[in-house]
């Protein structure tokens, strides 16, 4: 088995130290609580909407298919950005990307509460 060159070994040790520091930071109660809350937000939102699909369809006078389309869209919108956010967090760091993501989420949440109810059929006013 070949041994690592001194440069590779230093890089390996430096990366191991960075990972160890990150794990120590995430284990503090406030950081751990923040990670748990941010991870739970998307799951909680989905679990809040699924039991009320029938009431949503009835309230907005739309078919179940339209409501299911909204749920599918939500799942796609939460899945697709993972492909973009991962490389961005590698390049810019996790904290700035997380702060921008939370700000976009907050603005979108406020924006989604502002428009009028859905029309009875999409495309008609």
Q: Does the residue 66 lie in any domain?
A: yes
Q: For position 81, what pLDDT does the model report?
A: 82
Tens of pLDDT, residues 104-118: 888 988 887 887 766
Percent of the chain topping pLDDT 90:
2
pTM of the model: 0.51
Range of the domain at 50: 30-112
Q: Which of 84, 94, 92, 82 is nearest to 25 (CA)?
A: 94
Q: Does the residue 95 lie in any domain?
A: yes
Q: Does the residue 61 lie in any domain?
A: yes
Q: Does the residue 20 lie in any domain?
A: no
Q: Does the residue 2 lie in any domain?
A: no
Query: How many structural domains compose the chain?
Result: 1
Tens of pLDDT, residues 62-99: 888 888 888 888 888 878 888 888 888 888 988 888 88
Q: What are the tokens at 2?
A: 């070949």
CA angle 19, 22, 26 (to 5 degrees): 140
Comparing 12-21, 30-39, 112-121, the range with the smallest average pLDDT is 12-21
Q: Does the residue 10 lie in any domain?
A: no
């Amino acid at each position: 088995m070949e041994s690592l060159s001194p440069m590779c070994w230093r890089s390996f040790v430096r990366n191991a130290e960075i990972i160890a520091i990150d794990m120590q930071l995430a284990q503090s109660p406030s950081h751990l609580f923040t990670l748990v809350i941010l991870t739970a937000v998307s799951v909680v939102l989905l679990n809040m909407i699924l039991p009320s699909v029938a009431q949503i369809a009835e309230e907005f006078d739309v078919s179940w298919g339209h409501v299911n389309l909204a749920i599918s869209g939500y799942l796609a919108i939460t899945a697709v950005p993972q492909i973009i956010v991962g490389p961005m967090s590698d390049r810019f760091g996790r904290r700035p990307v997380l702060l921008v993501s939370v700000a976009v989420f907050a603005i979108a949440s406020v924006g989604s509460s502002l428009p009028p109810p859905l029309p009875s059929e999409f495309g008609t006013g």
